[in-house]
Amino acid sequence: MRIQKVCMTLLLAGAMMMTGGCSNQTASTTTESTTKSEVQQGDNKEETTLLVAAAASLEYSMEEKLIPLFEEENTGVKVMGTYDSSGKLQTQIEEGLNADVFFSAATTQMDALSEEGYINENHTVSLLENKLVLIVPTDSASDRKSFEDITKGTTIALGDPESVPVGQYAKEALTSLSLWDEIQDRVSFGMNVTEVLNWVAEGSADVGIVYATDAATTNQVKVIAYAPENSLETPVIYPVSTLKNSQHADMAKKFVEFLQSKEASEILKEYGFTPLEDK
């Protein structure tokens, strides 16, 4: 009888030890599993990607300094820029481009998208001013001295006024100076301001009209003159805003606010723009 009790006691003790061992192993396994899960969640954090649809004349300032600075200040955010004429970008947005921010080279396109319900009007800011200039190739021996001397050109490069803001401004200025009709048989129309600039830089056109900021990006052209102030009814204004269909509304708003910061303003001035807050 005593032997049976001893055996029973030993069996119970062994069972308790086995149970305790399993309990500790389960706890250890659970902890290890949780730790792995946390690591995996940390590794799988999705990067936020903002798509900024911006006028072609903004490409250098955006890609070289503004976007890198914003990404540096906002870990986990990637900003992708798509650049073209504001008119083309307007059309792309209307056709479904999933842009988060629109940065236009004219108020016309921004106003149109706003009226159509694409723009967050309470986020819209008139941010910059640019200037319209007459350019020729750097090695040109031309005697042109004034904006009106565009009439001396044999091949003239302008932006398409149907969709390119710089072309719309050029048409307005030349019309007010009574020169538009006179030059039509010598004009080639570019699809954005960069194309117009390249035509003159390469010598395909012997004169053209671009923004002052674009002319400053290359040593292959020289500025002859600025458009007379009274030739434009409204100045060359660049508005920026967020889009209503943005999947990253808070970050899009933050980017627009960043463009209004002192740091961004100083960068934009380096590239020849005039922040409206400085006027």
Kindly report the number of other CB atoms within 10 A of residue 182's CB atom. 12
In SS3 terms, the chain reads as: CHHHHHHHHHHHHHHHHHHHHHHHHHHHHHHHHHHHHHHHHHHCCCCEEEEEEEEHHHHHHHHHHHHHHHHHHCCCEEEEEEEECHHHHHHHHHCCCCCCEEECCCHHHHHHHHHCCCECHHHCEEEEEECEEEEEECCCCCCCCCHHHHHHCCCEEEECCCCCHHHHHHHHHHHHCCCHHHHHHHEEEECCHHHHHHHHHHCCCCEEEEEHHHHCCCCCEEEEEECCHHHCCCCEEEEEEEECCCCCHHHHHHHHHHHCCHHHHHHHHHCCCEEHHHC
Q: Any binding-site annotation on 57?
A: yes
State yes or no: 238 annotated in a binding site.
no
114 labelled as ligand-binding?
A: no
Buried b (16+ CB within 10 A) or exposed e, 134-147: bbbbeebeeebeeb
60 annotated as belonging to a binding site for a ligand? no
Tell me the binding residues for molybdate: 57, 86, 193, 211
Tell me the binding residues: 57, 86, 193, 211
